[in-house]
Structure 1
Amino acid sequence: MSDIFEEVDESLRQDRIESLWKRYRPFVYVGAALLIGLVAANEFALKPYIHKIKTERALALETAETQLKDGDYADAEAGFRALADGKSELAPLAANFLAQTLYEGNGDAAGAEKALQAVGNPTGTPFERLALLKAAYAKADTASLADLETMLTGVKDDSSAIGSLARELIAAKAYAEGDIARARKDFNRLKFDADAPEGVTRRAEIALAAIPVPPEETGAADGAPSPDGTNETTEETGQ
């Protein structure tokens, strides 16, 4: 008897499933079609489109770079500006080239600085951090040492080449403002910075040879302690 009831229950379940299937089958088909359509669109439409856009932008960048090398500044500026104003991954690189074009072609230092600051980011990509460093170089003559240090916060402490260049700029600005002790201290650290590019360490050596030792450091050079308890020899040799 129990087998009969089980067969009846099973039959009812099957009827119910069939009824539900007939009712919702169109929606299931639509959902499956949408899913397949989205996958197909991504695979056969979106991906090729994105690749096409990237290829077109890369070609546009290459064209503008060639125009810059050839001295065709007007067309180069238009090409770089169109890319720099976009949201693509090439925008920071294009902005660096745009700044170069504005400065070389028209002597437009203000425009170059504006283009660099628009994409400069201390925590961004290398090209975004490089743009920030270049903007700091553009402002170096008019900005104070404190302004440059604030502007380069997040970059000047990097162990990268960009960080070394930022510290070199700050050391040079310290010297320009007459802070000889600060300049020698910063250049001395760059001289022995293992992460600094060879060019930076070489320029640091030249700067140290050219910048006179302040009178207060003369005693330190003879072995007497400097006011902060250190001297350049100690820092250089680590002894």
Structure 2
Amino acid sequence: MSDIFTEVDEGIRQEKLGSLWKKWRPFVYGGVAALIIGVAVNEFVLAPQAEARREARALALENGIRALEDARYAEAEEAFTKIMNEDAKLAPLAAHFLAQTKYEGGGDSAGAAELLASVGGVEGGPYERLALLKSAYFKADELNLADLETTLGSLVTDDSTVGALARELVAAKAYEAGDFARARTEYNRLRLDAYAPQGLVRRAEIALAAIPVQTGTEEATEAAPAETAPAEPQETGQ
């Protein structure tokens, strides 16, 4: 008897499932078809289009660089600006060249600095950190030492070549401000900086040879020769 009931229950369940399947089958088929169509569109339409756009931007960047090298500044600016407006991965790199175009083509150091500051930042990638450094270079003549350090922020402690270059800028600014002790301290650190390229180390050595050592400083004390008492005349035999 229990077997009969089991078979009846199973039949009812199958009938219900069959009814549900008939009801929802068009939606299931439609969903599967939409998924297949979406994958096909992405694979055969969108992906090639995206690749074509990337290739077009790369070509535009190359053409812009060539125009910049040939002093065709208006053409270069147009190419770099277009890449930046598309907000692509090449945008930070295009910003560097656009800033160079503004500076070389029209002497617009303020515009170049503002442009680089808009894309620069310590938290970004190497292009963003380099943009921040370049922006500080453009503004260095207008800033005092404290403001320059504020502009650079934590970039001066960044463990990278860009960070070492930022520290060199601070050292140069200290020298310009007449703070020879600070300048010598910074250049001495750069001589031993693991992230400083050889050219930077050499510049630091040249600067140290040119910057006077201030009297009364620890460095001056260490550099000064030790004083010795005058030798007493020897007695000569009678």
Q: Any stretches of 5+ residues in structure 1 without a counterpart?
A: 225-239
Matching residue of 1:220:
222
Deviations 1:143-163 (A, max 9, x none): 111111111112111121100
8 Å contact kept, 1:123–1:154: no
Deviates most, 142-151 or 200-209: 142-151
Matching residue of 2:156:
156
8 Å contact kept, 1:122–1:128: yes
- Note the 1:77-156 alignment, pairs <5 A: 77-156=77-156
8 Å contact kept, 1:96–1:116: yes
1:223 Cα deviation (Å)? Answer: 7.5
**Taking structure 2 as the reference length, what is the TM-score of the superposition?**
0.91
Deviations 1:15-52 (A, max 9, x none): 10000000011111111122222222222222112111
Q: Any stretches of 5+ residues in structure 2 without a counterpart?
A: 227-238
**Match of 2:7, SS?**
helix
Q: How far apart in 1 are the matches of 2:188 and 2:48?
A: 53
Matching residue of 1:18:
18
**CA separation of 1:223 and 1:35: change in aligned 2, threshold 3 A:** farther
Q: How far apart in 1 are the matches of 2:46 and 2:158?
A: 38
8 Å contact kept, 2:181–2:214: yes
**Match of 2:89, SS?**
coil
Aligned pairs, number: 224
Q: How far apart in 1 are the matches of 2:208 and 2:156?
A: 20
Deviates most, 214-223 or 201-210: 214-223
Letter in 2 for 1:215: T
Letter in 2 for 1:220: E
Q: Say which one has the larger Rg.
A: 2
| Residue 185 of structure 1 pairs with residue 196 of structure 2 | no
